[in-house]
Amino acid sequence: MTQIYGLATLWIGLALIATLLSIWLRVATAMSEIIVGTVAQLVIGAALGAAALGTDQSWIKFLAGTGAVLLTFLAGTELDPQVMRREWKQAVIVGLVAFTAPFLGAQRWPAMPWVGAAIQAGSPGSPCPPHRSRSSTQ
């Protein structure tokens, strides 16, 4: 039970840091939350391991999904209808590219030779050597 409170404290602390940064830097709160979350994953994940943020916990996954929906909603509320009417061609082009690019990239991804090699690094016949930690090479 203490672990749940510790994780909740960590996540609320990160949200507080993101809010204070957004006020200090005068950027959108959603942007600072994304940046703080990414940096926290890199720093805390590298220092203490991926389990330190509790990303495998079901309640964290639920909050992450709810937060993603909320961030999408907030991004939609920041659109200016007058600009959208005036610049509708550019908005449609950007929207279509932003929507289709991930699908096209995912379709192309397995055909890239270095991706398959990186995924199966260390397997027999792979051009990539297996990952070795510093302690095993010394």
User: What's the pLDDT tens digit per position in 85-125?
Assistant: 898 898 889 888 888 888 877 776 655 565 555 555 555 55
pTM for the whole structure: 0.52
Output helix, strand, coil percentages for the chain, rounded to the nearest 5.
80, 0, 20
> Which of 18-27, 31-40, 66-75, 124-133 has the highest mean predicted lDDT (pLDDT)?
18-27
DSSP conformational letter for 53: G
